[in-house]
Amino acid sequence: MTANFAASRVAFDLPEGVIYLDGNSLGPLPRAAVARVQRTLREEWGDMLITAWNRAGWMEMPRRLGDRIGRLIGAGPGTVVLGDTLSIKVYQALASALEARPDRRVILSDTGNFPSDLYMAEGLVRTLGRGYALRTVAPEAVEAAITPEVAVLMLTEVDYRTGRRHDMARLTAKAHAVGALTVWDLAHSAGALPVDLAGTGTDFAVGCTYKYLNAGPGGPAFIYIAPRHADLVRPALSGWLGHEAPFAFDLDYRPGAGIERMRVGTPPVVQMTMLEAALDIWDEVDLDDLRARSIELSELFIAEVEKQAPQVTIASPRDPQIRGSQVSLKFEHGYAAMQALIARGVIGDFRAPDLIRFGFTPLYTTDADVAGAVRILGDVMKTRAWDDPAYRRRSAVT
């Protein structure tokens, strides 16, 4: 018997008549976030003005919230800090890892990685020059490609397109065996499944908070550094809030203690308070219960899709152990099909060229949601509802 998430579902303000299966892209609004933001605006910013940096604890939030995220990803207190965007955090982690392996020049990644991670690595190796290079292989070829040339193995645990999950423990061990370091992107892991950063011995990890963690659009990213590295790395993005004494206004940079040095500029306070409200919900969640329920939901979805929508192909791994908390379907007219689904109140999303994605988020997704979504998908397929020119018009975010 899996745990009951009825209590967490009511913590979200979900619109009537919508089945939301895109929490893997943008989590929904936690009810408490509205009042929390009001308080931040009126009682903190409005009333305390500049003094709120101290009096309302704004300055400490990136570290304080980092500890709360740490619990969800198997990271000890003082090893995670919030700030910036995931892309920036990737750059910081990679630059630090490369510097810790000065005799090596290769970043190894895979073609299933989120493109922005690859782009940031490209920009970094170009900035570094001196023969630094990004090498990408197919996801299934990663293990064999971990050779002693590799300085850093940079992977996203759960593939954003298919939900395919890498074996973090195994690949980290392999990397360490050849003397390489690891940077794991947890964008589709944090809040989706149990992560054990300390247990796997991962060196660096990064992630975002606006997907499964429900911090809202553009919520801050996070970065983890294993304690054995944290006081050794020298930040490439050496901003004042990562300085040992930001308010001494020294002319020279001296890195702050441990993970603090990964802070850069002034943190986005209001987005931080939204994250804080979202984390209140997470504090009650057991990750193993969550994972069991997520598998239950995605298995139900797959079984029903096979019955009711034979026109589509399951693009995600069938083995739930190597699948994250989403299921992707391959369909030639995927873009238009997703538009047709959205018009009928089922919100997932589309990833080029032909994948439609559905995220399962036990905090608020029910069996009835899954059943309803598949029923409507079956109907869209049977009636060829996607074959409507209105659904083929592309917009900016697809």
- Give the residue, chosen from 75, 82, 93, 118, that forms a contact with a copy of itself under the rule CB under 8 A: 118
The mark string for 195-234 relative to a copy of itself (x by CB under 8 A, - otherwise) is -------------x-x-----xxxxxx------------x
Does position 17 interact with a copy of itself (CB under 8 A)? The reply is: no
With contacts defined by CB under 8 A, how many residues of the chain interact with a copy of itself? 94
Measured from the CB atom, is 75 or 221 closer to a copy of itself?
Answer: 221
Catalytic site residue from 36, 164, 174, 211: 211
Measured from the CB atom, is 129 or 389 closer to a copy of itself?
Answer: 129
- Catalytic residue flag (residue 174): no
Residues between 322 and 341 with contacts to a copy of itself, criterion CB under 8 A: none
Please report, for residues 24, 169, 233, 302, 386, the alpha-carbon distance to residue 337 in angstroms, rounded to integers and kept in the order given: 19, 37, 47, 17, 5
Does position 128 interact with a copy of itself (CB under 8 A)? The reply is: yes
- Catalytic residue flag (residue 165): no
Measured from the CB atom, is 5 or 132 closer to a copy of itself?
Answer: 132
Does position 60 interact with a copy of itself (CB under 8 A)? The reply is: yes
Does position 72 interact with a copy of itself (CB under 8 A)? The reply is: no
Chain centroid to Cα 305, Å, comes to 26
Residues between 76 and 115 with contacts to a copy of itself, criterion CB under 8 A: 84-88, 91, 95, 111, 114-115
Closest distance to a copy of itself from the beta carbon of 238 (Å)? 4
Does position 142 interact with a copy of itself (CB under 8 A)? The reply is: no
Residues between 349 and 388 with contacts to a copy of itself, criterion CB under 8 A: 349, 351-352
Measured from the CB atom, is 37 or 322 closer to a copy of itself?
Answer: 37
Measured from the CB atom, is 1 or 131 closer to a copy of itself?
Answer: 131
Does position 343 interact with a copy of itself (CB under 8 A)? The reply is: no
- Catalytic residue flag (residue 185): yes
- Catalytic residue flag (residue 132): no
- Give the residue, chosen from 244, 250, 288, 387, that forms a contact with a copy of itself under the rule CB under 8 A: 250
Is residue 95 within 8 A of residue 233, CB to CB? The reply is no
- Give the residue, chosen from 4, 7, 15, 288, that forms a contact with a copy of itself under the rule CB under 8 A: 15
Catalytic site residue from 164, 357, 358, 391: 357
Q: How far apart are CA 253 and CA 274, in angstroms?
A: 31
Residues between 269 and 298 with contacts to a copy of itself, criterion CB under 8 A: 269-272, 274
Give catalytic residue positions.
114, 185, 210-211, 357
